[in-house]
Amino acid sequence: MPASKTVSTSAAETELGTHVFHVVGYSQQKAIGAHKDKSIVSGHFSVGGHDWEMLLMADIYNKNHPDCIAISLMLLNPVSAGVLASFELRLVNQSTGLPFTVHKEAPKVFDDDDNNMVAICWIKRSLLESPTYLQNDRLTVECIVTVIKEPQVPKTKSFPRIEVPPSNMAEHFGSLLETDLGADVTFSVGAETFKAHKIVLATRSPVFKAELYGPMKEEGMGPITIKDVQPDVFKALLHFIYTDSLRPLDDLEADDHSEMIRHLLVAADRYAIERLKLICQSFLWENLNVQTVATTLALADQHNCDMLKDACIDFITCSNEMDGLLSSQGYKNLKRTCPAVIIDVLEKTGKFRMA
């Protein structure tokens, strides 16, 4: 079932405000501030629903910043929850009217604590009182305040889901096999005949490709005779070639089912259909038992199924029913037809017992 897809966006809301503070008669106000220990205070201005003011301490000495002038931003209506804000200070060139940034304050929390109501920056006196920014005893300072608000709970939007049905290619190719539409090759297997399509067989099997299109291809329109393959096995092989799946074998008993898989493995090896060969190996591995392991081991050895062969040898070396295994007909056949495999089993059994 396709997964649903939704989207939501959480974005911090900000409100930005700029206050331009003109200080006219700067030297006089500085003298008054020095005499009464007061700051030059701007008018109130509102940003983000809160009131602020600027304080310019033009002639108040600070031993930590002896050559600097302090300019502060103060929150006038502090709340315990705090207000998150950043600010930027600019000095305006009195000749050009262009501002120059002299300080940027990272976001900080302004709240009702005395130490957190104010943010202070220190600017070199030589810069602030230079002829560039202080002309005719007039100074202009811009303060840009950005209040950062908590994001609102985002709304989730659902994308319309486009459902794609499962692939039906196998169904179409299976139908092609059943109807014989466009079939251009006939096989005679035992007493039965099967029609198929050369291009499909050649695409799925390098052996069929060589037989049907290679230099050794059979000429003429007569059926191609397939020997040493049972009709029901060849039918299952064709079904896999066209559909990439095994045809249902529910009508077979368990033993007959396993026997069919063994024959199908042989056919898959003969026609180099590796995926079918692996499927058959997997089934045989999952159904190993004392009575079948020797037969399966012989089959694996004869058809280069290394992983299945190793699994069978491991099964034998770890078996608790060795007597029953040694007395099975499959083991007797194995000794006769594949003596080298018996040596592999004995060597691994010896190593297993020594461990």
DSSP string, 168-216: -HHHHHHHHHHH-TT--EEEEETTEEEEE-HHHHHHH-HHHHHHHHSTT
How far apart are the C-alpha atoms of 249 and 258, rounded to whole Å? 10
Residue 169 tokens, joined: 């290619």
What SS3 state is found at 350? Answer: helix
Question: Is residue 320 in some structural domain?
Answer: no
What CATH number does residue 136 fall under? Answer: 2.60.210.10
What would the pLDDT profile of 52-107 be if each residue is shown by its tens digit?
Answer: 999 998 777 778 888 899 999 999 988 888 899 999 999 999 999 999 999 998 99
Contact (CB, 8 A) for 241 and 249? no
Question: Is residue 67 in some structural domain?
Answer: yes
pLDDT of residue 344: 59
How far apart are the C-alpha atoms of 297 and 325, rounded to whole Å? 12
Residue 107 tokens, joined: 């976001």
Between vectors from CA 51 to CA 47 and to CA 57, what angle results, nearest 5°? Answer: 105
Question: Is residue 63 in some structural domain?
Answer: yes
Question: Is residue 34 in some structural domain?
Answer: yes
User: CA dist 233 to 7, 29, 267, Å?
Assistant: 52, 106, 8
- End-to-end alpha-carbon separation of the chain, Å? 50
Contact (CB, 8 A) for 140 and 23? yes
Residue 224 tokens, joined: 């191609």
pLDDT < 70 stretches in the chain: 1-3, 34-37, 216, 218-221, 250-252, 254-255, 319-355
pLDDT of residue 78: 83
How far apart are the C-alpha atoms of 101 and 94, rounded to whole Å? 14
Residue 132 tokens, joined: 């560039």
How far apart are the C-alpha atoms of 236 and 315, rounded to whole Å? 29
As for how many domains the chain has, the answer is 1
How far apart are the C-alpha atoms of 198 and 4, rounded to whole Å? 43
How far apart are the C-alpha atoms of 212 and 241, rounded to whole Å? 15
pLDDT of residue 354: 40
Residue 345 tokens, joined: 């089993």
pTM confidence score: 0.53
Residue 18 structural domain: 12-149
Q: Radius of gyration over alpha carbons of the chain, in Å?
A: 45
Question: Is residue 100 in some structural domain?
Answer: yes
Contact (CB, 8 A) for 121 and 70? yes
What's the maximum distance between 2 C-alpha atoms anywhere in the chain?
Answer: 122
Question: Is residue 111 in some structural domain?
Answer: yes
Question: Is residue 217 in some structural domain?
Answer: no
Q: What is the helix (H) or strand (E) element at residue 102, kind and residue range?
A: strand 99-110
Residue with tokens 């074998």: 249
Between vectors from CA 115 to CA 114 and to CA 117, what angle results, nearest 5°? Answer: 65
Question: Is residue 38 in some structural domain?
Answer: yes
How far apart are the C-alpha atoms of 200 and 271, rounded to whole Å? 13
Contact (CB, 8 A) for 134 and 94? yes
List of E strands, 5-67: 6-7, 13-24, 40-41, 45-47, 50-57
**Amino acid letter for position 236:** A
How far apart are the C-alpha atoms of 280 and 265, rounded to whole Å? 6
Beta-carbon contacts of 286 under 8 Å, excluding residues fewer than 6 positions away, are: none
